[in-house]
Amino acid sequence: MSEFSFSRDYKKVQWGRTLWLNLLRTFAAGLVITIIVLISGGNTGPNGPPLLAIPFLAPIGYLMVLPAYLILTKFVVALEGGVVFKLALFCTFAIPLLVLVAGDPLVFALHKLKPALVPTEKFNFMNFTFCLWVLDPQKVAQDT
């Protein structure tokens, strides 16, 4: 299938499964961050959240950042923005994206062990995209 286009494919999106998959990715990323901080002997600082709360706070942060990302992406695409716009967009979301990708190997392993928990037919070891969309296979088949 071609690359996802929101304006073309939004009717094929399975919204609940898409939300679950992306929240699962952020939870896994939170686990990875927590493990790294625990191994390194670090902490979240005096004003930071409790360390064990990070896996639960990561999905909340994702839900707050996602609308801004989608709006800015749509804006840059609509303007057919040049290199400067695309670079600014990338720099704005590069660190959250790298953090999110850190959880993908855990979700990949979960998909191999318990495929029913990961609502997609195929899940890559690493997915360098901020939002993964789960499409209805019947609707996709109708369009091909």
For the stretch 69-105, pLDDT in tens is 777 777 766 666 566 666 776 777 777 788 889 999 9
% of the chain residues with pLDDT over 70: 85
Structure tokens at 120: 């997609």
Cα angle for residues 53, 99, 31 (degrees, 5° grid): 35
Structure tokens at 46: 């005096």
Please give the Cα distance from 10 to 135 (Å, whole number): 9
**Residue 22 phi, psi (nearest 5):** -75, -35
The pLDDT assigned to 85 comes to: 67
Half-sphere exposure of 30 (CA within 13 A, CB side): 20
**Which position has the higher pLDDT, 41 or 19?**
19
Check pLDDT > 50 for residue 1: no
Helices (H), the chain: 6-9, 15-40, 54-78, 83-102, 104-113, 137-143
